Structure 1
Amino acid sequence: MIKSWKDYLFVSIQFLLFGLYAFDFLPAFELPQLVKYIGLIFSILGFLIAVLSVLQLNKNLTVFPTPKTDSELMTFGMYKFSRHPIYTGLILFTFGYAFFKASLFKVLIALVLLLLFYFKTNYEEQKLLQKFSNYKDYKKKVNRFFPKIKNPQA
């Protein structure tokens, strides 16, 4: 599929935010040690989810929201629980690490990344619906970022 200016815009903003995340322009805030370590656990979990998802995506991987011409729809592994598990991992990592470091700046960047990922996935899913006839059914079964919680009484 052909990339548009939106592909380059989303990726540019994403990498700009990743670059900014490396810095801390605001003072840290106070958090109990337990909260910091819970944040660390979430950041490690997010990192592992992102890495595993990248490995599962394999030859389909691209930084752009427009899928590759020869790509296949992934519905197994991490993609069985989330339509965008790489973003899920990045969200968990950025928020978790921000709380571990007690960094207001990193929390703000993580919020902007979450918002960016929401809009980027909206655009990406338009492209996936065009490319894959079964994407609509997959979208009904699997949530965007986090797994569906099933009602035990249902």
Structure 2
Amino acid sequence: MLKENVPASKFVTVGINITLAIVWIAYALWYARAFRETGTWGFLVFCISETILACLYVFRTAPRRVSIHFVDWIVAVAGTALPLLFSSTGVLIWSGGSVLILIAFVIQIFGLLSLNRSFAVVPAQRVIKTGGLYRFVRHPLYASYLLAFAGYILISISLYNILIIAAATTLLFLRIRLEEKYLLTDATYREYHAQVPWRLVPFVY
């Protein structure tokens, strides 16, 4: 029977980081092409965001332990991959969607600065960060993703994109629950969890 977490191997960590960097470069190239084809600058913001993430994945800190629970990995990988299936051929219904994407990008940058390279795709134990945006909500990066999803649907709405975003949003909320279930085994995180009651939006959720 597999354990729910194992010590992180440096070799495995480097391999995963490089793989994720390549995936995010693919995201960035896709959004660059979407920007060239549509002229919608929200896609350019996505391109810049994914390029930054690709660089950060190369230099992120190694975790102390990583979950190898099957469901944790499936949800994390599927939730990460689904946005790559977005289509840029939908209908632009409000150009203000690009503004939402820009706001999401700013939140994402401040969230990443708050983490200082201590972030993950699958549940993992790293140094618990409680400063910056993490003083207000426990998952500011996920909040930025939801805002970006809303912006995306406004600049490229289609039944296909609605279904992809619905699935990605469902997985994101499931991902939050699975991550917190894993992290609550850490005493430091339990203390942080008690101090910051809001997951995504202060005084709302």
TM class by smaller structure: 0.7 to 0.9
Partner of 2:192: 135
Partner of 2:58: none
Q: Report if aligned partners of 1:24, 1:103 keep a CA contact under 8 Å in 2.
A: no
Residues 1:57 and 2:112 aligned together = no
Q: Report if aligned partners of 1:20, 1:109 keep a CA contact under 8 Å in 2.
A: yes
| Separation in structure 2 between the aligned mates of residue 45 and residue 103 of structure 1, nearest angstrom | 23
C-alpha deviation, 1:38, in angstroms:
2.8
Partner of 1:118: 173
Secondary structure in structure 2 of the residue aligned to 1:134: helix
* 46 and 107 in structure 1: CA distance in 2 versus 1, 3 angstrom threshold: farther
Letter in 1 for 2:143: T
Q: Report if aligned partners of 2:77, 2:121 keep a CA contact under 8 Å in 1.
A: no
Letter in 2 for 1:127: Y
C-alpha deviation, 1:54, in angstroms:
1.8
Query: Percent identity of the aligned residues?
Result: 24
Match of 1:87 among 136, 142, 151: 142
TM normalised by structure 1 equals: 0.76
| Separation in structure 2 between the aligned mates of residue 47 and residue 6 of structure 1, nearest angstrom | 29
When structure 1 is superposed on structure 2, of 123-132 and 98-107 the one drifting more is: 98-107
| Separation in structure 1 between the aligned mates of residue 71 and residue 182 of structure 2, nearest angstrom | 12
Unmatched tracts of structure 1, length 5 or more: 150-154
Q: Report if aligned partners of 2:130, 2:192 keep a CA contact under 8 Å in 1.
A: no
| Separation in structure 1 between the aligned mates of residue 109 and residue 128 of structure 2, nearest angstrom | 18
Partner of 1:45: 103
Q: Report if aligned partners of 1:37, 1:100 keep a CA contact under 8 Å in 2.
A: yes
C-alpha deviation, 1:128, in angstroms:
1.6
| Separation in structure 2 between the aligned mates of residue 38 and residue 6 of structure 1, nearest angstrom | 37
| Separation in structure 1 between the aligned mates of residue 176 and residue 66 of structure 2, nearest angstrom | 17
Partner of 1:105: 160
Q: Report if aligned partners of 2:143, 2:200 keep a CA contact under 8 Å in 1.
A: yes
Q: Report if aligned partners of 1:39, 1:97 keep a CA contact under 8 Å in 2.
A: yes
| Separation in structure 1 between the aligned mates of residue 111 and residue 157 of structure 2, nearest angstrom | 27
Partner of 1:3: 67
Tell me the alpha carbon deviations over residues 22-65 of structure 1, each in whole angstroms, 9 at most, x when there is no partner. Answer: x257x53x73xxxx13322111111221122122212321111x
Partner of 1:152: none
| Separation in structure 2 between the aligned mates of residue 142 and residue 76 of structure 1, nearest angstrom | 15
Tell me the alpha carbon deviations over residues 113-149 of structure 1, each in whole angstroms, 9 at most, x when there is no partner. Answer: 21111111101111121113303413xx332112226
Q: Report if aligned partners of 2:88, 2:156 keep a CA contact under 8 Å in 1.
A: no
- Bigger relative contact order, structure 1 or 2, given CA contacts below 8 A and separation 6+? 1
In the alignment of these two chains, the number of paired residues is: 137
RMSD between aligned residues: 2.2
